[in-house]
C-alpha cells in the first residue's frame, strides 16, 4: 500500500529587529566613533539574542540591528513569516513605523520590550501580538499559537512566571559591531520600587536569578570563542539577593575574569560579599544614588537607604578596591539648580570615579508617569524624546532651560580635569579611570566647540545676565527661557 | 517721583510681555489654515462655538466622565501639525488622554494622534502634518475636572 508522504514543512522564519535608537543621534556620530574605537554601537541587543534562543522548534530566527546599519532597515517580506520587534520607549516611534510597514506587507508582527509591556493597548494599534515582560515566558507560546492559527493579542509573562532565564544566541550577531559584545544577564527584576523605574512596573518586586552553571558556561564560551576577559553583568541589581550573589562570585572566581555590574548601595552592608566580589574580578559597580538629598530620595521612592549614610557606604565599597559609577537624576519636584550643584559636589567629595546626571524621564508604566499625567504635566508623548536628555514634563523646581543647563553643567564640572585629579589622585594611578574621565571631558569640550557654544557652568546661574548665558550655552535663539522646543 | 519714573519704566519694559497670542493668522495659500472666522464648531460639548470665538472667558464645556467631542469644520482642506487648547481659567480642565482625528469629508475620520493633555494649555504636536477639512477632538480618558476649552488654535 502506498502511503502518501508529506514533504517536510520548511522552517518558519522569524525576523527580530532592534529599531534605531535616537540615543545614537544625541551626540555627533564622530564623537561616538572616537569614544567606541570605531565600533558601530555600544551594546549588543541582548534582548533579541534571548528571543532568538527561545523560539520553538520549527522556527528559525534572524536578527537585524538598525543601530549598526549604514541606512535604516527597509522592510522586506520575502522569506519571512513573522517579525518580532523589541523596543525601549525611546525606540517606540521607530518600532511602530517598522511594525506598520511589515503589517502593510502582510507579515504578522509581534511587539515586545519595555514600552510595549507598559502600554500594550497602544502597541496593539501597530502589532498583531504583544508580549509583555519576559520573552522566555511569552514568545514561544505566541509563535506556537501563531502556527496553529490561534494566537492571542497579548501574552503576559505572569502566566508562566517560573520560566527560567535563557542563555542568549550571540552567534547571530557580529562581535566587531559592538563595543560591549558580552553583556551577560545574571538576574532579572529588582526588589525595590523606585518611582521613576520601569522595572517594578513590569516585574513587580519579583526578583529572579539565573542558573549559575548557565552563567559560568556563558562566560567560559565567551572566553574561548572571543578571548573575552572583561564582562558587563547587565542586571538591574546583581546583589539583590546577597546569598545568591556570594554563590555566583564563588563560581566565577576560578574563571579569572574582570567584570562590572549594577546593584543597589545595600551591597555595602556585607564586607564578606564585597570581598567575594572583588576576589571574583569585580572592578566596578554602577549605583543608583539619585541624590544626596533626603527629600529627593524620598520622592524617588528610595526608602531603603538614608542619604546621610551614602558617604560611609561609598567609602566601604571603595575600601574593597571596587570603583563606583554613581548615577544621579535631576529634575525631581523638590530639586532646584542649587541641588543639582550639591549633587555634583557630593559626587566629587565621595571620590567616585565616574558619574552620570540624567534628566528625570517619566517612562510609561512608572509612578512618576502616572503622577505627571494626572497632573497634566507631561509635555509630549513623542517617545523619541524620552531619552534622559530631553525634558518631557513640566518641572517644578526649575525652568526647562535651567534643568537642561544644570545637567550639562553637572557633567562638565564633574569631569573637569581638576575634579578628576581630586577624585582619582595620581597614586595609585587609576589608568582606566583617568582615561574615561578625560575622554568624557574631551568629548564635551569638542561638542561645544563644534557647536560654537560656551561650556556650561553652575556659575552661570548666579551671574549677571544669567538667562542670556544659559541661552547661549544651550544654543537657544532667544533669551526667552519659556521656549522648551 | 523716582518711584513714578521707575514704575513707568517698568510698565514700558514689560509692555507686551504679558500673555502673548498663541495664534497668528496665516496668509492665503494652498493648504494653509483658513482664518478662524470661517470655522464652524460642533460636538457633544456645551457651547462649542466658544472654543473659536476669540474670547478666553467663554468656554466650550464637556463632562468629567470623558467621551466628549469637539468638531471643527475649517471650510476647506488645511494642513496643520499643531493644535493648541487653551483651558482658560479652568486650569485642570484638560483631558488625561485626547484623540485627534481628521477627515476630508466629515464622515470618514482618521486618527492622527492620541496623546496626553496638559494643565492650563494643552499643546499637541502631531507626529506628521495632517491634511483635513474636519478636525475632531475626543476625550479618550477624562482629566481631574470637566473638559473645558476656552480657545482652540491650529498651526
Query: What pLDDT score was predicted for residue A301?
Result: 92
Q: For residues B52 and B36, is the Cβ–Cβ distance under 8 A?
A: yes
Q: Would you call B125 and A375 a contact, using CB atoms and an 8 Å cutoff?
A: no
Q: Looking at CA atoms only, how far is residue A189 from chain B in angstroms?
A: 29
Pairwise CA distance, residues A136 & A157, whole Å: 8
Question: Which residues have C-beta within 8 Å of that of residue B127, sequence separation ≥ 6?
Answer: A93, A382, B112, B113
What lies within 8 Å, CB to CB, of A326 at 6+ separation is: A287, A289, A314, A347, A350, A352, A354, A355, A356
Task: Please state, rounded to an integer, the average pLDDT across all residues of chain A.
Answer: 91
- Give tens-digit pLDDT for A19-51: 998 765 444 556 666 666 667 788 899 999 999
Angle, alpha carbons A46-A48-A53 (nearest 5°): 95
Sheet holding A129-132, edge to edge: A59-65, A12-18, A82-86, A108-112, A129-132, A154-156
Instruction: Give, in order, the Cα–Cα distances in Å from A45 to each of A315, A347, A385.
Output: 34, 31, 21
Segment A290-310 shows an average pLDDT of 93
- List the single best residue of B116, B120, B128 to mutate versus A (max A Cβ within 10 A): B116
Coil, strand or helix: which one is B149? strand
Could A122 and B115 be called an inter-chain contact, meaning their C-beta atoms sit closer than 8 Å?
no
Region A250-276 average pLDDT = 96
% residues pLDDT > 70 (chain B): 81
How much is the pLDDT for A182? 86
Query: Do residues B145 and B90 touch, judged by C-beta distance below 8 A?
Result: yes
A158 reaches B (C-beta below 8 A): no
pLDDT at A315 over 90: yes
User: CB contact, 8 Å: B92 with chain A?
Assistant: yes
Per-residue pLDDT tens over the stretch A330-352: 999 999 999 999 999 999 999 99
Arithmetic mean of pLDDT, A97-102? 97
CA distance A164 to B102: 47
Average pLDDT for A250-274: 96
Question: Is residue A477 predicted with pLDDT exceeding 80?
Answer: no
8 Å CB contact of A93 and B127: yes
Question: Dihedral through CA A385, CA A369, CA A371, CA A200, nearest 10?
Answer: -150
Looking at residue A31, its pLDDT comes to: 62
A425 confidence band (pLDDT: 50, 70, 90)? confident
What is the average per-residue pLDDT within B104-124? 94
Across the interface, of A93, A122, A377, the residue whose CB is closest to B118 is: A377
The reported pLDDT for the residue numbered A230 is 92
| Interface residue A261 vs chain B (CB under 8 A) | no
Contact criterion met (CB < 8 Å) for A376 and B115: no
Best of A376, A378, A381 to substitute, by most chain B Cβ atoms within 10 angstroms, is A376
Mean pLDDT is lowest, of A296-305, B8-17, B142-151, for B8-17
Burial class (CB in 10 A: 0-12, 13-18, 19+), B130: buried
pLDDT of residue A316: 97
Distance from CA of A26 to the nearest CA of B (A): 19
Amino acid at each position: 500500500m502506498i502511503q502518501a508522504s508529506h514533504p517536510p514543512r520548511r522552517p518558519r522564519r522569524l525576523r527580530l529587529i532592534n529599531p534605531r535608537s535616537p540615543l545614537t543621534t544625541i551626540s555627533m556620530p564622530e564623537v561616538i566613533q572616537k569614544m567606541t574605537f570605531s565600533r558601530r554601537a555600544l551594546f549588543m541587543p541582548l534582548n533579541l539574542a534571548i528571543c532568538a534562543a527561545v523560539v520553538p522548534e520549527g522556527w528559525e530566527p534572524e536578527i537585524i540591528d538598525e543601530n549598526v546599519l549604514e541606512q535604516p532597515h527597509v522592510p522586506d517580506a520575502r522569506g519571512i513569516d513573522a517579525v518580532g520587534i523589541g523596543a525601549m520607549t525611546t525606540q517606540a516611534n521607530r518600532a511602530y513605523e517598522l511594525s506598520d510597514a511589515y503589517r502593510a506587507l502582510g507579515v504578522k508582527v509581534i511587539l515586545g520590550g519595555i514600552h510595549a509591556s507598559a502600554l500594550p493597548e497602544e502597541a496593539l494599534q501597530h502589532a498583531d501580538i504583544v508580549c509583555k515582560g519576559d520573552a522566555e515566558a511569552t514568545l514561544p507560546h505566541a509563535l506556537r499559537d501563531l502556527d496553529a492559527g490561534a494566537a492571542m493579542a497579548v501574552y503576559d509573562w505572569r502566566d508562566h512566571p517560573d520560566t527560567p532565564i535563557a542563555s542568549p544566541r550571540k552567534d547571530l550577531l557580529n562581535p566587531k559591531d559592538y563595543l560591549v559584545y558580552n553583556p551577560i544577564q545574571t538576574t532579572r527584576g529588582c526588589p525595590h520600587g523606585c518611582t521613576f523605574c520601569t522595572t517594578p512596573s513590569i516585574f513587580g518586586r519579583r526578583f529572579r536569578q539565573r542558573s549559575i552553571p548557565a552563567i559560568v558556561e556563558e562566560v567560559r564560551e565567551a572566553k574561548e570563542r572571543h578571548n573575552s576577559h572583561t564582562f558587563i553583568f547587565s542586571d538591574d541589581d546583581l546583589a539583590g539577593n546577597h546569598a545568591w550573589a556570594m554563590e555566583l562570585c564563588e563560581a566565577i572566581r576560578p574563571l579569572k575574569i574582570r567584570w562590572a555590574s549594577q546593584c543597589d548601595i545595600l551591597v555595602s552592608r556585607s564586607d564578606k560579599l564585597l570581598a567575594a566580589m572583588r576576589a571574583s574580578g569585580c572592578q566596578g559597580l554602577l549605583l543608583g544614588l539619585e541624590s544626596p538629598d533626603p527629600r529627593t530620595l524620598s520622592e524617588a521612592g528610595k526608602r531603603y537607604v538614608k542619604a546621610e549614610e551614602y558617604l560611609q557606604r561609598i567609602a566601604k565599597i571603595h575600601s574593597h578596591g571596587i570603583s563606583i559609577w554613581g548615577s544621579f537624576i535631576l529634575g525631581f519636584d523638590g530639586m532646584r539648580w542649587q541641588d543639582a550643584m550639591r549633587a555634583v559636589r557630593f559626587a566629587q567629595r565621595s571620590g567616585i570615579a565616574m558619574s552620570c546626571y540624567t534628566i528625570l524621564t517619566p517612562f510609561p508604566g512608572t509612578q512618576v508617569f502616572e503622577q505627571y499625567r494626572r497632573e497634566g504635566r507631561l509635555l509630549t508623548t513623542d517617545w523619541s524624546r524620552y531619552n534622559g536628555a530631553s525634558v518631557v514634563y513640566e518641572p517644578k523646581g526649575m525652568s526647562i532651560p535651567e534643568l537642561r543647563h544644570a545637567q550639562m553643567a553637572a557633567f562638565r564640572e564633574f569631569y573637569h580635569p581638576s575634579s578628576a585629579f581630586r577624585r582619582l589622585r595620581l597614586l595609585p594611578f587609576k589608568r582606566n579611570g583617568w582615561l574615561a574621565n578625560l575622554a568624557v571631558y574631551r568629548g564635551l569640550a569638542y561638542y561645544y566647540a563644534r557647536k560654537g557654544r560656551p561650556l556650561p557652568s553652575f556659575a552661570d546661574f548666579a551671574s549677571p545676565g544669567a538667562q542670556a548665558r544659559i541661552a547661549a550655552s544651550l544654543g537657544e535663539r532667544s533669551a526667552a527661557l519659556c521656549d522648551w522646543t | 517721583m523716582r518711584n513714578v519714573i521707575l514704575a513707568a519704566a517698568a510698565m514700558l519694559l514689560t509692555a507686551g510681555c504679558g500673555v502673548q497670542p498663541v495664534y497668528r493668522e496665516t496668509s492665503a495659500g494652498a493648504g494653509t489654515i483658513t482664518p478662524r472666522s470661517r470655522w464652524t464648531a460642533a460636538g457633544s460639548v456645551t457651547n462649542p462655538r466658544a472654543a473659536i470665538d476669540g474670547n478666553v472667558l467663554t468656554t466650550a464645556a464637556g463632562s468629567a466622565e470623558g467621551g466628549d467631542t469637539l468638531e471643527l469644520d475649517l471650510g476647506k482642506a488645511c494642513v496643520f501639525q499643531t493644535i493648541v487648547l487653551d483651558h482658560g481659567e479652568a486650569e485642570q480642565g484638560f483631558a488625561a488622554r485626547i484623540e485627534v482625528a481628521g477627515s476630508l469629508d466629515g464622515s470618514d475620520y482618521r486618527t492622527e494622534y492620541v496623546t496626553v493633555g496638559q494643565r492650563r494649555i494643552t499643546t499637541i504636536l502631531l507626529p506628521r502634518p495632517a491634511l483635513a477639512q474636519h478636525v475632531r477632538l475626543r476625550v479618550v480618558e477624562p482629566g481631574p475636572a470637566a473638559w473645558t476649552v476656552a480657545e482652540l488654535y491650529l498651526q
